Amino acid sequence: MARVRTVHRCQECGATTPRWQGRCPSCEAWNTLVEEIETPAPAPVLSGPWASSTSEPALPIADVDVNAVHAVPVGVPEVDRVLGGGLVPGAVTLLGGEPGIGKSTLLLQVAAGVAATGRRVLYVTAEESTAQIRARAERLGAVVDDLWVVAETSVPRIAELLDEVDPAVVLVDSVQALVVPELSSAPGSVAQVRECAFRLVTEARSRGAATVLVGHVTKDGALAGPRVLEHVVDTVLAFEGDRHGGLRLLRATKHRFGSTSEVGVFEMGEDGLQAVADPSGRFLLDRRTGVPGSVVAAVLEGRRPVLVEVQALVGDSNLPQPRRTAQGIDGGRLALLLAVLDRRVGLPGLGKVDVHTLAVGGVRLGEPGADLAVALAVASALLDRPVPDDLAVFGEVGLTGEVRRVGRGEERVTEAERLGFTTVLGPAAPARSVTTLAEAIEATLPR
Ligand code: TYD
Ligand code: MG
């Protein structure tokens, strides 16, 4: 009798080892290896209906039809903006986000939006009951013709439903709850998630149905288990924000059919997610002026300039290694800025205080243009002096303490001025230009 072969698969990165180990040799995560029965790698997914025939002849590039791929609007303008027009028939989109962030809500609003254009939508709920979906749909005004709902977790059964319902758009919530029954692994394991996604991608491709898969994300930002999924799908959308505050940001981190630079801003309200027309105004709503440790940054969210408040608080530390916390700010970036403040600016006492930093509103500052604001906020907190009320800043800070240029300076200044910030400090005109961090501190935190 043939022995069943097993492998140990990392639930973080998908790598396998023959024997169990405490630490994944590939991604170095601890305690992530789980034994599973070895299955042959899934069949390669044929490229989609935008190149549907596998025996297609080569063409001179000028003869290629540019309209072969075209996005169809989902009818939720902020989503269409992020997708660069809408969903592409036959393409698969992964919508990732932490539990409770609003993925199911967004999905249902997308479902209603698509159905409103007269295209049939199949909403597959693998976690909630259809009654729960109906109740939510009542709140969202999503009880519409052409929106079909089914509670199902089995992928082969979903494939049959696609034949029965023949939808233009398929929405699945969530991929971690799906199963391919012949696999022995548990739902949510890498083996299951990967196989389920592969099969749904194949179904989407062969039918030309635009497909959206919801995926839960762990707090360190990885899609729980299947980072592998990101390579299988065409588009990855990340839905993030402060779960307790109302603001939510939708961004594309991978997009085969367009740019990844647009960001959608929503607010969660009583009747679902509403687009936020004026993100800067919204981010600054609760700002207190004249307080040390608060600086307004003119940053880019995608291509849009947005004003965000950066806060810092310092306090005497009784730890040998003082604490540094960063919310919405990269921890490595903060460490770099603290080192520059210490060594290049000569700000005294940084090594003996705890430093806490925060980007207000659940924003994640992923762009170097926020450096100057973070550094100034820490300096302001440490010196216990506020910066002027009407000040906004931007610019990257380098290791020699220089303030470096970043993209779209002009648009940042325009947005800051629109919101009434009369002094905008940055690396170059039209901002009031500063060449070093020391100079910026001198100018904004005078004795
Ligand atoms: P949900 O979409 O279920 O999040 P996810 O699918 O990402 O886990 O909703 C998240 C929260 O939003 C939930 O706590 C309820 C709240 N909510 C509203 O505040 N207003 C609404 O109209 C809806 C539908 C949900
Ligand atoms: Mg949900």
Place of tokens 């609007």: 73
Residues 26 and 15 sit within 8 Å (Cβ to Cβ): yes
Query: How far is it, in rounded angstroms, from Cα 112 to Cα 52?
Result: 29
Q: Which of 172, 268, 273 to mutate to test the pocket of ligand 1 (most atoms within 8 A of CB)?
A: 268
What is the CA(148)–ligand 2 centre distance, in A?
Answer: 17
For residue 159, give the nearest of 213, 199, 115 by alpha carbon.
Answer: 199
Residues within 6 Å of ligand 1 by CB: 97, 99-105, 136, 139-140, 268, 270-272
pLDDT of residue 13: 77
Cα separations in angstroms, 77 against 82, 266, 268: 9, 11, 16
Q: 203 alpha carbon to ligand 1 midpoint, in Å?
A: 29
Indicate whether this model's pTM tops 0.85.
Answer: no
Instruction: Report the pLDDT value the prediction gives residue 220, as an integer from 0 to 100.
Output: 64
Residue 96, beta-bridge partner list: 215, 238
How many whole angstroms separate alpha carbon 96 and alpha carbon 102? 10
The C-alpha torsion from 365 through 399 and 375 to 329, rounded to 10°, is: 20
Q: Do domains 73-276 and 281-444 have the same CATH topology?
A: no
Domain boundaries, the chain: 5-38, 73-276, 281-444
State the distance from the centre of ligand 1 to the C-alpha of 272, rounded, in angstroms.
Answer: 7
Q: State the closest ligand 1 atom to the C-alpha of 214, by its place in the atom list counted from 1.
A: 6
Report CA(271)–ligand 1 centroid distance (Å).
10
> What does CATH list as the number for 73-276?
3.40.50.300
Query: Omega into 380 within 30° of 0, i.e. cis?
Result: no
Residues 6+ apart with CB under 8 A from 107: 95, 123, 171, 173, 212, 214
Confidence (pLDDT) at 2:
54
Nearest ligand to the CA of 99 is 1
Q: In testing the pocket of ligand 1, which one of 101, 103, 105 has its CB within 8 Å of the most ligand atoms? A: 105
- Residue 146 is predicted with a pLDDT of 96
- Residue 40 pLDDT: 60
Q: For residue 331, report the distance from its CA to the centre of ligand 1, in Å.
A: 29
**Hey, how many other C-beta atoms are within 10 angstroms of the C-beta on 52?**
14
Topology of domain 281-444, per CATH? Ribosomal Protein S5; domain 2 (3.30.230)
For residues 294 and 290, give the distance between their C-alpha atoms in angstroms, rounded to a whole number: 8
pLDDT, position 44: 47
User: What is the amino acid identity at position 296?
Assistant: V
Per-residue pLDDT tens digits of the chain, which is 447 residues long: 456 778 888 877 778 888 888 888 888 888 888 887 776 655 544 444 444 445 678 989 888 877 667 899 999 999 999 999 999 999 999 999 988 999 999 999 999 999 999 999 999 999 999 999 999 999 999 999 999 999 999 999 999 999 999 999 999 999 999 999 998 888 888 889 989 999 999 999 999 999 999 999 876 655 555 567 888 999 999 998 876 677 898 989 899 988 887 888 899 988 999 999 888 888 888 889 999 999 999 999 877 899 999 999 999 998 989 999 999 999 999 999 999 999 999 999 999 999 999 998 878 898 999 999 999 999 999 999 999 999 999 999 999 999 999 999 999 999 999 999 999 999 999 999 999 999 999 999 988
Note every long-range contact of 263-269, with CB atoms under 8 Å and residues 24 or more positions apart, other chains counting: 263/82, 263/301, 263/302, 263/304, 264/78, 264/79, 264/81, 264/82, 265/78, 265/301, 266/78, 266/102, 266/106, 268/102, 268/105
Q: Closest-lying ligand to the alpha carbon of 272?
A: 1
Radius of gyration of the chain (CA): 25
The pocket of ion ligand 2, defined by CB under 5 A, consists of 104
The two beta strands, 121-125 and 33-37, are: unpaired
Distance CA(91)–CA(71), nearest Å, equals 10
Q: Which atom of ligand 1 is nearest to the CA of 173?
A: 6
- DSSP secondary structure string for all residues of 70-106: --B--S-HHHHHHHTSSBPTT-EEEEEE-TTSSHHHH
